[in-house]
Amino acid sequence: MRRLYGTFDHSLNRFTLVTLIVTLISGGTIYLPYAPSSPVPIGSQYYVGLTFAGFFVLVLALYFGWGPIQMARETECPKCHYKFSFFNVQKTLTNTASLSDEEVRNFKVKKVCEHCGFTDIFKKVEHHPYPTDDE
């Protein structure tokens, strides 16, 4: 993202718009054969290629488009609003509880912004189910 915008302090509006357009176009190519009076009806010689291309572009848009957008939201600093700079630096186990079907772990997580140095400590709960012996 730094190569596209020159900084990590940006809103991702253009990137989100382009990702949305690519997702809609790829979804349209997948749906096109099912539309009434379609130029590419089901069973035509272009049906398989068009559907495959639509699914391929959709997977690329999900991975390279919506994935970084979600990561930017998760790693945005609440103080300076830089994206891709607010990360976990320490995770301390504070408590565990064993239930009948899972183990519950309580953590204290410390996150620090690499740009401004803002520090936030919050609690996190993880549920880990016990393995089952299904044969």
CB 87 within 8 A of CB 118: no
3-state secondary structure of 95: strand
What residues does each domain of the chain span?
2-74, 86-129
pLDDT value of position 5: 59
Handedness of CA 86, 6, 80, 17 (dihedral sign): negative
Q: What does R_g of the chain's alpha carbons equal in angstroms? A: 22
Question: Residue 64 — very low, low, confident or very high, per pLDDT cuts 50/70/90?
Answer: confident
Looking at every residue in the chain, the average pLDDT score rounds to 84
The amino acid occupying position 74 is E
Q: How many percent of the chain have pLDDT more than 90?
A: 24
Task: Tell which phi-psi region holds residue 6, choosing left (phi > 0), alpha (psi between -120 and 50) or beta.
Answer: left
